[in-house]
Amino acid sequence: MVDNNDQKQLEKFYNDATAQYYFDKLKELVAIKSVFAQNIGLDDAAHYLVTLFEEAGADVVLDDSFAAPFVMATFASQKADAKTLVFYNHYDVQPADSDQIWTAAPFTLDVRDGYMYGRGVDDDKGHIVARLTGVQKYRKVVTELPVNIIFIIEGAEESASVDLEKYLAKYQPELSKAELLVWEQGIFNAQGQMELSGGTKGIVTFDAVVESAEVDIHSKFGGVIDSSSWYLINALSSLRAADGRILVDGIYDGVTPPTARELDLVHQFAYIESEDLRDLYDLKLPFLTDDKAELLKRLFFEPSLTIQGLSTGYQGQGVKTIIPCQASAKLEVRLVPGMEPHDVLTKIEKQLQKNGFDKVKLIYTLGEEGYRSDMTAPAILNTIDIAKKFSPKGVAVLPTTAGTGPMHQVFAALEVPIVSFGLGNPNSRDHGGDENAKMADYYTHIEMIEELIKSYE
């Protein structure tokens, strides 16, 4: 059932010519399959954005010096002392392959029952177009902007923002003058409150590979010959305790502990309950901790080790009695401030050797550091005050999220206060099938961007 506020927002959206025009543009952008991991559609998406922003009146730079084209679109204010507002977004999306279930074609924006569905509607193409719509709605009424607005849009965020730091260094003189950087996305939480956050976890991803023989061996030798499969399983098991703690010497030593304010914000505004997670994902296994405070601490302020996938042996029809000669796994460690990706991988490698598993070869794939803010910068406090006008059920302020993004890279390069807010919801299914966002929240985001610009008058 659509509540009264949602219904009001939907009516305004459908009667707003500017919003309708750009929503059609969003449909076209979603239709571009732009997946960095598969090297598909990046040029198409970048060039589409160049055209879109140039038609909107922006001064646009398309820089394809590195792995994925970088788009920078500037709307300049005529005020001599105008401050600068930066929007960070990305046009690359996750794959939407046959391993996921979609109700409609994933690269077609589908609207039904007050929601829009499609790959990228929340992460992150919907935010790009909603923010541009907010800028254009303001300019339609006032004409002259009271603040410089710069969109920076990368194409490799879903792959640890490859080469982003090179683009940031190149355009640092323009971008470091900003008073505020608005991060890619955010959600309305389970209580219907707009969530504003100031951080992301980091990550290091890597492959673990074992080769135990030149060829697969007849399984009659299973009692006397070790297999790559068992060797790798035992090696990985040695790295994690039953309660989820990482059993790697020194891995927690450099972790930056949360401040009292950061802990307070999470306990006050992180509306995450184990039962809600159980229902949302239909969980079959018990949680690694039953304590609410411990759950929040681990989720926001501690690293975690995850096996993304395992591959070994015969997986075809019927039976093949072998001892597999090869086994591999894809893994990740979610990092928090104070942890560096290559250093973490080195510690894991040393631990495996110490545990007697020197035959495991680790291959680094991606990595980025974590970042968090205590949310006290004046420009962030101004944004929080504005958010209260657009979130009747209140706002939730968090120093970080449990997700990962290149926020550390951006802050290290620009040293600009960063705040994240957006149009998603707890079940937007980012990276999964039927990725979605509420239409009412999409229009609320448009209005908030317009109001944020007004606050600089």
pLDDT in tens, 321-338: 999 999 999 999 999 999
Q: What is the mean pLDDT of residues 134-161?
A: 96
pLDDT band for position 53 (cuts 50, 70, 90):
very high
Residue 16: which of 187, 114, 134 has the closest Cα? 134
Check pLDDT > 90 for residue 374. Answer: no
CA separation for the pair 157, 204 (Å, rounded): 14
pLDDT of residue 273: 86
Considering only residues 281 and 445, tell me which one the structure prediction assigns the higher pLDDT.
Answer: 445
Q: Residue 31 pLDDT > 80, yes or no? A: yes
Sorted by where each starts, the structural domains of the chain and their CATH numbers stand as 4-198+373-455 (3.40.630.10), 201-255+302-368 (3.30.70.360)
Does position 370 have pLDDT exceeding 90, yes or no?
A: yes
Alpha carbon separation from 230 to 163, 195, 312, 313, 345 (Å, rounded): 38, 44, 10, 11, 22
pLDDT at 280: 80
Assess whether pLDDT exceeds 60 at residue 52.
yes
What does the pLDDT look like over 4-28, one tens digit per residue?
Answer: 899 999 999 999 999 999 999 999 9
Question: pLDDT by residue (tens digit) across 79-125?
Answer: 999 999 999 999 999 999 988 999 999 999 999 999 999 999 999 99
Rounded Cα–Cα distance for residues 122 and 115 (Å): 11
433 vs 281, more confident: 433
| Region 210-229 average pLDDT | 97
Q: Residue 1 has what pLDDT?
A: 53
Q: Is the pLDDT of residue 272 over 90?
A: no
Q: What per-residue confidence (pLDDT) applies to 414?
A: 96
Q: What is the pLDDT of residue 2?
A: 64
Confidence band, pLDDT 50/70/90 cuts, at residue 243: very high
* pLDDT, tens only, 394-428: 999 999 999 899 999 999 999 999 999 999 999 99
